[in-house]
A and B are shown apart, each in its own frame.
Chain A
């Protein structure tokens, strides 16, 4: 582990990603201390004002401080991103491992169910699930998690099937290692690279899906701020106040970019072959 931190520090790109995410996390945790105003506080005299010393990123159509809303929005977006992706990734990992390792009938059943999920467009599926469960932040996360699960399942399954072909798996069987340990010790570490990359991609996807759901009124409920919702709210006003869309968009791009940087370097760091 010590070795790992050492290498992360040496890897400049990964470090930038890591620091970026760290900043976003800090924003989310210390939002009440950092934000100058409450996210839903309306300054009716300052509607649609550009950036100034009073309102760093300007104000929106209700006169709310965009900077404060972005800081608080980090809480929501990170939460949605991380938890939704965790649901999808862990579910996908479990189903994918079972499918790929044991194959046979169980595999057929799991994969056909996943195919059904696949057949719906992401947003439609998420909408249906939220509609059934009722609109709330938790249900949004569950819905996004379920939407992402088939992708992870497919990915893990095919990675497992490739890794399983290697003789070191047969070798482990020949030594007498039980299947559960083969999966934990020999299969999981060897499928991590594509899995981690998929997680970073899914994180950005989750943040965007949440934005779309919020736009349709089924995601995060106003007045709670989320970046996606801010983006969608601002669409109507972007001609008069480009800052209303610019800053939330920048926040999303920055976070996703940092996750991708970290993901790329994690994949390399976890590969002993690239260790110098």
Chain B
């Protein structure tokens, strides 16, 4: 596994949002949305980022694509540091990296037909003449399970699942290498969600895609991913291969998160040990000292308040940031 080629390397990525206040709109503090996280993504794999709302998983995705300019850190895409590239030349790099959003209702311009939506990326990057673009559009629409008769319609004429197919077609028409899926199936009904997940898997094989899958849904993540990173309050808590993480979670937060998923198997429900965490996620503009999870952690001890746990490889390919594993 580890010999596979690394496509994307994220090193010490930070994204702080200033909090402005007062009459003069001075910066009074920072929300550390992403606070020093590192990971790499390997070719053709699905790497997932999970966590609760406000943990910084979406911001990470957007910082990689520089839709939010990172505060600090490096992002290496095929060896090239994306942070050093000027804004205008970064626009050309965007064709290799695409983003698919959660909300299929607001992510498509309501005034453009499907055909125009799909042609826009090609024409923007001058990858095709209008005529060629139209041919590619027809091909792409069929690949995502829609038909050519849909081309002249507007987004509002489609259901949520179909719109998400359009979003996928629009992202993939540029033949990107890396696709970041930000809660891409979260807004969909169960019966539609599985259709889209199947489609994503099938397209990944066909186009040799690398996915970064951002989600709060641990069941979906388990199904789709090769490796999973668990985030909490802007930091990476644990990162491992999917099976290792689900079968043998190390971090107390991961354990609690997994136990909180409502079971769908009556037998499993009987003998499942549930950890119910106390309290809420702390305010990210005022995080606790030391380990960000310590206020809710059933295992917290004195050391957790004093120092931030190191992010270490506790087992082979299994990283964790917790004092319990760093004696």
Q: Which residues in A have some Cβ–Cβ distance to B below 8 Å?
A: 166-168, 170-178, 181, 185-186, 189-190, 272-273, 275
How many angstroms between the C-alpha atoms of A174 and B172 in the bound complex? 12
Whether A189 pairs with B111 at a CB distance below 8 angstroms is: yes
Residues in B with CB closer than 8 Å to A175 are: 94-95, 98, 120-121, 124, 170, 174
The answer to whether B106 has its CB under 8 Å from any CB of chain A is yes
Question: B65: nearest residue on chain A (CB-CB)?
Answer: A174
How many angstroms between the C-alpha atoms of A176 and B67 in the bound complex? 10
Whether B101 pairs with A167 at a CB distance below 8 angstroms is: yes
The answer to whether B158 has its CB under 8 Å from any CB of chain A is no
Whether B109 pairs with A186 at a CB distance below 8 angstroms is: yes
Whether A177 pairs with B92 at a CB distance below 8 angstroms is: no
Whether B103 pairs with A174 at a CB distance below 8 angstroms is: no
Given known contacts A181-B124, A272-B156, A174 and B98 CB-to-CB distance under 8 angstroms:
yes
Question: B167: nearest residue on chain A (CB-CB)?
Answer: A171
Whether A168 pairs with B120 at a CB distance below 8 angstroms is: no
Selected A-B contacts with CB under 8 Å, 14 pairs: A167-B103, A168-B106, A168-B108, A170-B62, A170-B101, A171-B170, A174-B97, A174-B99, A175-B121, A175-B170, A175-B174, A190-B109, A272-B154, A273-B156
Q: How close is B183's CB to chain A, nearest CB, in angstroms?
A: 11
Whether B67 pairs with A170 at a CB distance below 8 angstroms is: yes
How many angstroms between the C-alpha atoms of A76 and B254 in the bound complex? 75
Name 5 extra pairs, CB < 8 A, besides A176-B94, A275-B154.
A172-B120, A175-B124, A176-B91, A176-B92, A185-B120
Q: How close is B124's CB to chain A, nearest CB, in angstroms?
A: 5
Q: How close is A169's CB to chain B, nearest CB, in angstroms?
A: 8
The answer to whether B27 has its CB under 8 Å from any CB of chain A is no
Q: How close is A102's CB to chain B, nearest CB, in angstroms?
A: 14
Whether A167 pairs with B120 at a CB distance below 8 angstroms is: no
The answer to whether B282 has its CB under 8 Å from any CB of chain A is no
Whether B94 pairs with A174 at a CB distance below 8 angstroms is: yes
Question: A167: nearest residue on chain B (CB-CB)?
Answer: B107
We find that the number of chain B residues with CB closer than 8 angstroms to chain A is: 30
Residues in A with CB closer than 8 Å to B95 are: 175-176
Counting residue pairs across A and B whose Cβ atoms lie within 8 Å, the total is 69
Whether A177 pairs with B156 at a CB distance below 8 angstroms is: no
How many angstroms between the C-alpha atoms of A273 and B154 in the bound complex? 8
Q: How close is B57's CB to chain A, nearest CB, in angstroms?
A: 16
The answer to whether B201 has its CB under 8 Å from any CB of chain A is no
The answer to whether B301 has its CB under 8 Å from any CB of chain A is no
Residues in B with CB closer than 8 Å to A176 are: 91-95, 121, 124-125
How many angstroms between the C-alpha atoms of A269 and B94 in the bound complex? 35
The answer to whether B110 has its CB under 8 Å from any CB of chain A is yes
| B 77-93 contacts with A by CB, 8 A | 91-93
B107 contacts which of A168, A190, A272, A275 (Cβ < 8 Å)?
Answer: A168
Q: How close is A187's CB to chain B, nearest CB, in angstroms?
A: 9
Q: Which residues in B have some Cβ–Cβ distance to A below 8 Å?
A: 62, 65, 67, 91-95, 97-99, 101-103, 106-112, 120-121, 124-125, 154, 156, 167, 170, 174
Whether A174 pairs with B67 at a CB distance below 8 angstroms is: yes
How many angstroms between the C-alpha atoms of A174 and B156 in the bound complex? 22
How many angstroms between the C-alpha atoms of A155 and B232 in the bound complex? 40
B106 contacts which of A167, A181, A185 (Cβ < 8 Å)?
Answer: A167
B110 contacts which of A170, A178, A190 (Cβ < 8 Å)?
Answer: A190
How many angstroms between the C-alpha atoms of A178 and B92 in the bound complex? 10
Residues in B with CB closer than 8 Å to A171 are: 99, 101, 107-108, 167, 170
Whether B109 pairs with A168 at a CB distance below 8 angstroms is: yes
Q: How close is B136's CB to chain A, nearest CB, in angstroms?
A: 15
Q: How close is B25's CB to chain A, nearest CB, in angstroms?
A: 9
Question: B92: nearest residue on chain A (CB-CB)?
Answer: A176
Question: B111: nearest residue on chain A (CB-CB)?
Answer: A189
How many angstroms between the C-alpha atoms of A207 and B81 in the bound complex? 59
Whether A177 pairs with B120 at a CB distance below 8 angstroms is: yes
Residues in A with CB closer than 8 Å to B102 are: 167
Residues in A with CB closer than 8 Å to B108 are: 168, 171
How many angstroms between the C-alpha atoms of A189 and B108 in the bound complex? 13
Best-buried of A166, A174, A186, A275 by chain B (most CB within 10 Å): A174
How many angstroms between the C-alpha atoms of A89 and B298 in the bound complex? 62
Q: How close is A232's CB to chain B, nearest CB, in angstroms?
A: 43
How many angstroms between the C-alpha atoms of A185 and B112 in the bound complex? 9
Residues in B with CB closer than 8 Å to A185 are: 109, 112, 120
Q: How close is B93's CB to chain A, nearest CB, in angstroms?
A: 8
How many angstroms between the C-alpha atoms of A150 and B289 in the bound complex? 49
Q: Which 6 A-B residue pairs are closest in the complex by CB-CB distance?
A: A176-B94, A167-B107, A272-B154, A189-B111, A174-B99, A176-B91
Question: A188: nearest residue on chain B (CB-CB)?
Answer: B111
Q: How close is A159's CB to chain B, nearest CB, in angstroms?
A: 13
How many angstroms between the C-alpha atoms of A189 and B170 in the bound complex? 20
Residues in A with CB closer than 8 Å to B101 are: 167, 170-171
Q: How close is B184's CB to chain A, nearest CB, in angstroms?
A: 12
How many angstroms between the C-alpha atoms of A166 and B156 in the bound complex? 15
